[in-house]
């Protein structure tokens, strides 16, 4: 099966570089590279999920010829979730499974100070505190300035997202969180179960918002088990 992986705010496809090695050979990792980063640095990044998701789904449509699933962390969780809803809305079927990490359930309002339009020093402090941005990027003024438009655009996607009610998905879900993540508490993670009529498994691991980087070798075998179980339960060629 194929596993489409959406990046967190400020992240790129490189975040998932080692995943294929740690997952079963039956799972093909498709790391999604969004505009404004890596080899797409010269492209204008999106500032809203409403604009990003349709283009993303159109881009991956040729790869929907086998069972597939979606994974996303933080901002990527919203992108993965809305992509699955867009697939259903446009008649392309649902995935075999949706996996989300480090983001409160989409129907819940965000808590805390929004930083997408904060002064640059404040945004830099926030990025350093959450731990998802490489220190060498934050410590290099020229590099940080070059990537600032992408960082602000991603934060705008994450912080201006507006949930629109639709019927819950029919595919099973896996939800992952950090035990010390102040941006997605265990109770906020568990409320993802309202977004599916199937089973929703919530698992917590030691760590803060970016626990997934530190606990990768513990989490990926679990992801693999969930994915292969979903396929064995009879997902069709396009996850239907």
- For the question of residue 83 being annotated catalytic, the response is no
Q: What is the pTM of this model?
A: 0.93
**Is residue 56 within a helix (H) or strand (E), and if so which, with residue range?**
helix 49-60
Question: 48, 74, 174, 230: which one is catalytic?
Answer: 74
- pLDDT tens digits, the chain, 240 residues: what are they? 999 999 999 888 988 989 988 998 999 999 999 998 888 988 999 999 999 999 999 999 999 999 999 999 999 999 999 999 999 999 999 999 999 999 999 999 988 788 999 999 999 998 888 887 888 888 999 999 999 999 999 999 999 999 999 999 999 999 999 999 999 999 999 999 999 999 999 999 999 999 998 898 999 999 999 999 998 775 444 433
CA distance 66 to 91: 16
> Is 84 strand, coil or helix?
helix
235 class by beta-carbon count within 10 Å (0-12 exposed, 13-18 middle, 19+ buried): buried
């Amino acid at each position: 099966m194929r596993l489409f992986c959406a990046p967190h705010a400020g992240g790129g496809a490189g975040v998932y570089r080692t995943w294929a090695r740690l997952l079963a050979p039956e799972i093909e990792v498709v790391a999604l590279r969004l505009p404004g980063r890596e080899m797409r640095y010269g492209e204008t990044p999106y500032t809203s999920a409403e604009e990003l998701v349709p283009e993303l789904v159109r881009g991956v449509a040729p790869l929907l010829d086998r069972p597939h699933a979606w994974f996303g962390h933080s901002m990527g969780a919203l992108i993965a979730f809305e992509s699955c809803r867009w697939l259903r809305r446009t008649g392309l079927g649902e995935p075999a499974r949706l996996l989300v990490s480090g983001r409160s359930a989409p129907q819940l309002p965000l808590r805390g100070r929004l930083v997408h339009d904060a002064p640059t020093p404040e945004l830099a402090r926030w990025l350093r505190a959450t731990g998802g941005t490489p220190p060498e990027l934050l410590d290099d003024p020229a590099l940080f300035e070059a990537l600032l438009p992408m960082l602000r655009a991603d934060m705008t996607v994450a912080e201006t997202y507006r949930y629109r009610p639709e019927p819950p998905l029919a595919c099973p879900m896996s939800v992952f969180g950090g035990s010390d993540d102040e941006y997605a508490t265990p109770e906020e993670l568990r409320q993802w179960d309202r977004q599916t009529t199937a089973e929703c498994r919530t698992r917590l691991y030691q760590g803060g918002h970016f626990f997934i980087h530190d606990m990768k070798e513990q989490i990926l075998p679990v992801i693999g088990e969930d994915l292969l179980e979903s396929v064995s339960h009879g997902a069709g060629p396009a996850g239907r």
